[in-house]
Amino acid sequence: MKEVINFNITNTTNGLVPISILGNNADQMDTANATTSYSWNIGVFVPTTENQIFIEYKRTGASVFSNTTIALSEKSTQGILNALNTLDLGYFFATTSGGNTFINNYNQNIIFGSIGIRYVVVQ
């Protein structure tokens, strides 16, 4: 006798949200059963010369935040998402609400602090 497992998954946001449905705590990109939502309002961001993203994060249970920077080559919301998603800190995606754009991440394994988009002189 074969058993059949069905999943009915509904995205109730207005963004494309990548998910992991089976879960793997060793995988930093795992979002299965994540109920903690992080959101940063970038609705006022007007891209000009920015070339770097700064982000603070720490693993659950860690006492101190780590800081990392990543190059921003495409000056758009999608460019920001593409850059952040190369960090293996969970899936970052965008939603809009009331005319504002938000960068979001659901995560139970990593705690986020601030995100900054800035111009840094490269020497």
Domain annotation covers residue 67: yes
pLDDT of residue 21: 63
- What token pair was written down for 54? 């700064």
pLDDT of residue 65: 96
Full domain range(s) for residue 71: 37-118
Domain annotation covers residue 23: no
Domain annotation covers residue 86: yes
pTM of the model: 0.77
Domain annotation covers residue 110: yes
One pLDDT digit (tens) per residue for the chain, 123 residues: 788 777 777 777 777 766 666 656 555 556 666 788 999 998 877 778 889 999 999 998 999 999 999 999 898 899 999 999 999 898 899 998 888 999 999 888 899 999 999 888 866
